[in-house]
């Protein structure tokens, strides 16, 4: 990270930045749309290992995955499936 690119990648020292919290923001946008046929989701696919993120954020991997942060390298066989499963299991917006 540097001054010109303070939020490049997931290696962000704080887990409460807008980039990380966008998984919630997108659901707020979905609710405001009030269109039952539209479901919005947001994911971060990280190349930074979860154990490195755990040291920075003091949260475990399941807590990161609950924020829709998936780990490309360590879960290379499953991260796309996890993403698709979450998208498919998201209830449609209610009116």
Examine the pLDDT at 61 and tell me if it is beyond 50.
yes
Burial class (CB in 10 A: 0-12, 13-18, 19+), 57: buried
**Ranges of each domain in the chain:** 18-89
* Residue, of 91 and 44, whose pLDDT is higher: 44
Paired tokens of 65: 């995955």
pLDDT tens sequence across 6-51: 444 556 667 788 989 999 999 999 999 999 999 999 999 999 999 9
Residue (of 66, 68, 71) closest to 50 by Cα position: 71
Mean pLDDT of the region 64-81: 96
């Amino acid at each position: 990270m540097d001054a010109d690119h303070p939020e490049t990648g997931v290696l962000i020292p704080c887990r409460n930045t807008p980039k990380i919290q966008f998984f919630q923001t997108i659901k707020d946008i979905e609710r405001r749309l009030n269109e039952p046929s539209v479901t919005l989701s947001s994911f971060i696919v990280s190349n930074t290992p979860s154990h490195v993120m755990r040291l920075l954020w003091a949260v475990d991997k399941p807590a990161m995955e609950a924020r829709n942060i998936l780990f490309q390298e360590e879960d290379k066989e499953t991260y796309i499936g996890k993403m698709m499963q979450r998208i498919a299991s998201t209830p449609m917006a209610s009116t």
